[in-house]
Chains A and B, each alone.
Chain A
């Protein structure tokens, strides 16, 4: 049986090869047939999951929460030292220096990443800004969000922190970070569906065993997850879900 492994679409483009390398090494180590799915958007991901085509998912934290609680997925592992963080940035020459300088009616560019939006909204609370106070500008890529901020077409842009730090030196020199989250406890999660059964343990062992090995560590480095993966218990997952529940409003 071939298991479909889906990678949430919010990884940086330069990590693409790394995910394919991971798929290859996991197959070798687990003895399982794995087929990698890399949907281009959150909508495509949702469709694949709804069609029942997904056996394992490297999910962003908020999707993971609903998949565990509502769709019976099980959390098996998470990256070590790689939490999901976000950056709110404006043009380097902007008068704003903190999020508290943003005013009701301000324009903010963002991509289709609901984790980034949700965490960003929480970080705007000290400025008394709610979702309704902001004119949202949806863009397809973080590069587009950066361009809009640099040109002054928006007052700020939301970025996944990894994407912000992957912007070119030139682009970053024209931006100013107003806020970078340090949430630490919220990470992506590798989930398996109930139908994977006992094979979930083989996937977990293969993944957790990569750290420091000749064939595993280069893959982890390529993914920007040098610390590797650690096993996750049901209670670890429940704890993260409770935590995220507090951030929903």
Chain B
């Protein structure tokens, strides 16, 4: 996978290596800075069957730090934060490929290396009995859940043997 370049802020001083499911890898610059979820809004995106972004609403664009032109046509994994375990996304894709709805807490990476947490729900787009893509809608997560899931994901990452 190839992505448009990040634009790390001054505090994004940790270089982290990602390896994606297709075996390609990317170095990302991350900071510890969390951006608050925008009150009252939904972050909405759609992808094709391969996880390539075909639609992003204004909240999605604003929070990601990328422009719409930079995002559309890119793999959704452009937002993947190195603290997120592969197992969480495997569960997402396995669930959706089975035609079911998926819920989960996700830490997303912004273009500037900071992050934001979401509670995401993803559904397959079924038209005339065929899955033609996927819609994902994110809501504001509770702080308690973020803390619980941060600990869980840390354990999963350790079990995956990556940093």
Contact = CB atoms under 8 A, between A and B. Distances in A.
B46 to A, nearest CB: 8
A206 B69 CA distance: 36
Contact of B41 (A100, A182, A235): A182
Contacts of A180: 40
Interface stretch (A70-78, A167-175, A240-248): A240-248
Nearest to B134: A242
Contacts of B136: 246
Contacts of A238: 125, 127
A191 B53 CA distance: 30
Contacts of A125: 119, 139-142
Given A185-B42, A247-B137, A242 B125 contact: yes
A128 interface: yes
Contacts of B39: 179
Contact of B142 (A128, A239, A247): A128
Contacts of A100: 143
A126 B125 contact: no
A123 B40 contact: yes
A246 B143 contact: no
A243 B137 contact: yes
Nearest to A127: B142
A244 to B, nearest CB: 9
Contacts of A235: 127
Interface centre among B40, B125, B136, B144 (most CB of A within 10 A): B40
A243 B40 contact: no
B140 to A, nearest CB: 5
A183 interface: yes
Contacts of B103: 249
Contact of A122 (B44, B46, B139, B144): B139
Interface string B122-141: 11010100000001110111
B25 interface: no
B83 interface: no
Given A183-B42, A185-B44, A246 B101 contact: yes
A245 B40 CA distance: 18
Contacts of B135: 239, 242-243, 246
B40 A179 contact: yes
B74 interface: no
Contacts of B48: none
Interface of B: 37-42, 44, 46, 57-59, 101, 103, 119, 121-123, 125, 127, 135-137, 139-145
Given A183-B42, A238-B125, A242-B135, 8 more contacts: A100-B143, A125-B141, A126-B143, A179-B39, A184-B57, A243-B44, A243-B137, A246-B137
10 contacts: A125-B142, A126-B143, A128-B142, A181-B41, A185-B44, A238-B127, A243-B137, A246-B122, A246-B136, A249-B103
